[in-house]
Amino acid sequence: MRCLPCHKEDTAMDTALLFRNNIISTCGVPKIIISDRDPKFTSEFWTNLYDMLGTKRAFSTAYHPQTDGLAGRMI
């Protein structure tokens, strides 16, 4: 598990670069990424990146006590 600081002002590209520089470069390409439904993670850019890397996406369920807020803490 890795926790990376993100800002509300970050664009999808900022998030992708943060991800590449801190996750892929040290851990390799992930098999699955769990995130909330924030547009940063559902944009066309991320969809294409997931497809290109062969990474599966899983979304946390809203109002689910076990995952509520977990996705934001897990990236």
In a domain, 35, yes or no: yes
Residue ranges in the chain assigned as alpha helix (H):
12-19, 25-27, 39-42, 44-53, 70-74
pLDDT at 69: 53
* Residues of the domain holding 50: 30-74
In terms of pTM, does the model score above 0.75?
no
Reported as a single tens digit per residue, the pLDDT across 26-74 is 888 888 887 777 777 777 777 877 887 888 888 777 665 665 555 454 4
Are 19 and 25 within 8 A, CB to CB? Answer: no
CA geometry: angle at 72 spanning 67 and 18, to 5°? 145
Are 71 and 34 within 8 A, CB to CB? Answer: yes
In a domain, 24, yes or no: no
Query: Structurally, how many domains does the chain consist of?
Result: 1
In a domain, 3, yes or no: no
